Structure 1
Amino acid sequence: MSVRELFTFRNSYFAAGVGIAAGFFVLTAIGGFIVLPYAQTELKFASLWDAICSAAGLPQPPTFVPTAKVGPRLTEVVLTPTTLAHSTQESIGRGATLAQRCAICHGPTGISRADSPNLAGQYASVIYKELLDFRAGARTNAIMSPFAVNLSDQDIADLAGYYAYLPRLPAFHPMEQLPKPRVVIYGAPVRGIAPCGSCHGSLDNKVGSPWLEGQSEAYLKAQLQAFASGQRTNDISQQMRNIARAMTPQEIDGAAAYYASQPPEIVKATD
């Protein structure tokens, strides 16, 4: 048999050898370029061609996989006029013990020296809501969030009852009493700003709205700015965010300075 006849498909041995080699090539190509790339669950390919190019070592642009946008957490607390309206003496006593851990920021008598909110005499429902929001992540703070996460529902109710029981005392940072700014008395109806006193007033107080007289100017200003920027989102129905966004920087400064200059209304502890 000549060399020419040896390397022809008429030679059964040559034909069989070429067929076996071709079969191995096809199987290895399928396994290396298709099966193995798709077996890597951490990689996502838009098409078969992407898988082949990846197996061949050719760089491919990253495939964009859209992720669900997670919005800010909102408050889930529901308040009524009767929420913690009457705390028991036992609850107030437990709250007094728990409050020892709060004294470094909020003062031993609930009056802060550190531009933290004054809590003595604050409405129980307000403290209750804010602590629940800190615990749930609807409101965040580097100090309050880790503290609140370990509080039980009963702990929060006890703390709220205790601070509400304390009489409101003059703040440690008094300033010359200022006249009421227009935004506090009249609001700005054209811009959708209600008078501050319609929710935060002594006679007309909306459930969940804190009393503001005698609070720190720096704290009040920081909270209004946080509402305006959307950094703080635990207000009910976005009421404070809508108002703060519509306020001018001068109105924010004026409202914060005014409330900081007002002596708090003295309230007596009751059983």
Structure 2
Amino acid sequence: MSTDSVFSLKNRWFVGAVGLAAGLFVFTAILGLIELPFAQRDVTFEGIWDAICSAAGVPLTRSSAAPVQPDFKLSTVVVTATMLSNPSQESIGRGATLAQQCAIWHGPVGVSRADSPNLAGQYAPAIYKQLKDFKTGARVNAIMTPFAVPLSEQDMVDLSAYYAYLPRLPAYHPEQDKPAPRIVVNGAPLRNVASCGSCHGALDNKAGSPWLEGQSAAYIKAQLEAFTSGARRNDISQQMRNIARQMTPEEIDEVAQYYSAQPSQTKRVSTP
């Protein structure tokens, strides 16, 4: 049989198949490019062409819907790898004077015994970011917020320089034969959780991430739980909130206990 007779307008099967395919194409185009965009309740389009372009991923005009604004203040600090890297001796000295106000919580030499964070040897950008966030309201604390609000820009730079100048607590883990928790070394890739050490100093440091070795177990646990619940949200791009929400309570405890291990704690445990 000749193929001319198959693809001929005289062949009703051919005409029917082409008509059906064309009808399905038009139906799906109308449904996907017009009906579904207009079905969105939180978006308003200025016309059919605007809806079609939006569905295709190339909007031509702005949607009339107002952008969703967060109901909390965002951190505006931009941290770089070289930030506050070369402080002057004058800046460190001014920071030492200002730090006398902090001694009751953070210790006279930056090592706390009150479950407040240890600041001795802490990365300067990490301290500066938290002070700035406390000052602007991106992070809120009953003690730190009133202290940070009156600080000037130079005050925050000087405090960061002073505490970074002090010797930090070393990475000390008395049970050397016990491997570090998996979440610290390897993370949990299937849950999109990076290893703690890749950002917080044991393996590498990400700009703005604090040194965790020697921090209080109660403090680390409280901050991870605050990230999990959303009570703390000054992490730009929600990196810590996304990680903490994927961690189990057991992993949070393991991280807190691992990083808090220090000689002084071992002695206190053994003292009757």
Residue matched to 1:218: 218
| Mapping 1:1-80, distance limit 5 Å | 71-80=71-80
1:68-124 deviation line (CA, Å, top 9, x unaligned)? 975222211001111100110000000000000000000000000100000000000
Counterpart Cα distance in 1 of 2:213 and 2:182: 17
Q: How far did 1:254 drift?
A: 0.5
1:156 aligns with 2:171: no
Counterpart Cα distance in 2 of 1:184 and 1:175: 13
- Distance change in 2, residues 1:187/1:262 (3 Å): farther
Residue matched to 2:182: 182
Unaligned stretches of 5+ in structure 2? 1-67, 264-272
Please tell me the residue identity of whatever aligns with 1:218.
A
1:98 aligns with 2:94: no
TM-score, with length taken from structure 1: 0.68
Give 3-state SS (helix, strand or coil) of 1:91's partner: helix
RMSD: 2.1
Residue matched to 1:235: 235
Counterpart Cα distance in 1 of 2:75 and 2:199: 18
Counterpart Cα distance in 1 of 2:195 and 2:203: 13
Count of matched residue positions in the alignment of Structure 1 and Structure 2: 195
Q: Once the two structures are aligned, what percentage of the paired residues are identical?
A: 69
Give 3-state SS (helix, strand or coil) of 2:212's partner: coil
Please tell me the residue identity of whatever aligns with 1:201.
G
Counterpart Cα distance in 2 of 1:93 and 1:192: 43
- Kept in 2, the 8 Å contact 1:179–1:258? The answer is no
Counterpart Cα distance in 1 of 2:240 and 2:80: 19
1:39-70 deviation line (CA, Å, top 9, x unaligned)? xxxxxxxxxxxxxxxxxxxxxxxxxxxxx975
Counterpart Cα distance in 2 of 1:196 and 1:183: 7
TM-score, with length taken from structure 2: 0.68
Q: Kindly indicate whether structure 1 or structure 2 has the higher relative contact order, using CA contacts under 8 Å at least 6 residues apart.
A: 1
Counterpart Cα distance in 1 of 2:173 and 2:194: 26
Counterpart Cα distance in 2 of 1:159 and 1:191: 37
Residue matched to 1:245: 245
Please tell me the residue identity of whatever aligns with 1:73.
K
- Kept in 2, the 8 Å contact 1:181–1:258? The answer is yes
- Distance change in 2, residues 1:142/1:256 (3 Å): same
Counterpart Cα distance in 2 of 1:202 and 1:246: 21
Residue matched to 1:3: none
Please tell me the residue identity of whatever aligns with 2:149.
V
Counterpart Cα distance in 2 of 1:116 and 1:170: 17
Give 3-state SS (helix, strand or coil) of 2:199's partner: helix
1:129-179 deviation line (CA, Å, top 9, x unaligned)? 0000000000010000000000000000000000000011469xx985464
- Kept in 2, the 8 Å contact 1:73–1:233? The answer is no
